[in-house]
Structures are given as C-alpha cells and as structure tokens.
C-alpha cells in the first residue's frame, strides 16, 4: 500500500489517485497536475477539454528547458 504524505481534511470531498507503469512523461504530468490543482471538478474537466482541442495550453513553469513558446501562455503571464 502506498503511504500518502497527507490525509485529506474532508475525505468525502476529496480523492487520491495513483498510476503505475503508465506510458507518460513525469514532467508533463507534473505540470498538468499543477495546472488543475485547486480547480473545481467541472472547471478542471472544461480546462482539460480545451487543452485537448488546443484552445488553451498547459503552462510549463518548472521544466521549461525544452518547451516551445505559445501565445496562449500569455493568459498565465508566461511566454
């Protein structure tokens, strides 16, 4: 069993997720999780749908070494 660093204040309104052996990049999932952190479920779903349709972007704040630039990042005060 996985030990989480913190227990939820209200377990009825929170969830925990874990993935193993997924074919995704750590840096991309880190930035995606950081982008939707604190959003309501509906807002997060709408935001991720816009990302899939390329109407909005995921802002890369920590791992920016090889990321391209996009005008959509101006919304987050990034280039």
In the numeric block, which tokens belong to residue 59?
A: 């802002």
The model's pLDDT over 10-59, given as tens digits with 9 standing for 90+, comes to 888 887 777 788 898 888 888 899 999 889 889 999 999 999 999 998 88
Burial class (CB in 10 A: 0-12, 13-18, 19+), 58: buried
Using the predicted structure, report yes or no on whether residue 2 has a pLDDT greater than 70: no
∠ CA 25-28-67, rounded to 5°: 110
Alpha carbon of 71 to those of 13, 19, 37, 58: distances in Å? 35, 32, 22, 12
Q: What is the pLDDT of residue 77?
A: 73
Q: What is the pLDDT of residue 63?
A: 74
């Amino acid at each position: 069993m996985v030990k989480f660093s913190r227990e939820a204040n209200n377990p009825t309104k929170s969830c925990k997720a874990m993935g193993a052996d997924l074919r995704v990049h750590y840096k991309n999932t880190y930035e995606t999780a950081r982008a939707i952190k604190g959003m309501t479920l509906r807002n997060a779903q709408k935001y991720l749908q816009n990302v899939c349709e390329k109407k909005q972007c995921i802002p890369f704040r920590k791992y920016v070494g090889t990321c391209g630039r996009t005008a959509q990042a101006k919304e987050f005060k990034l280039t």
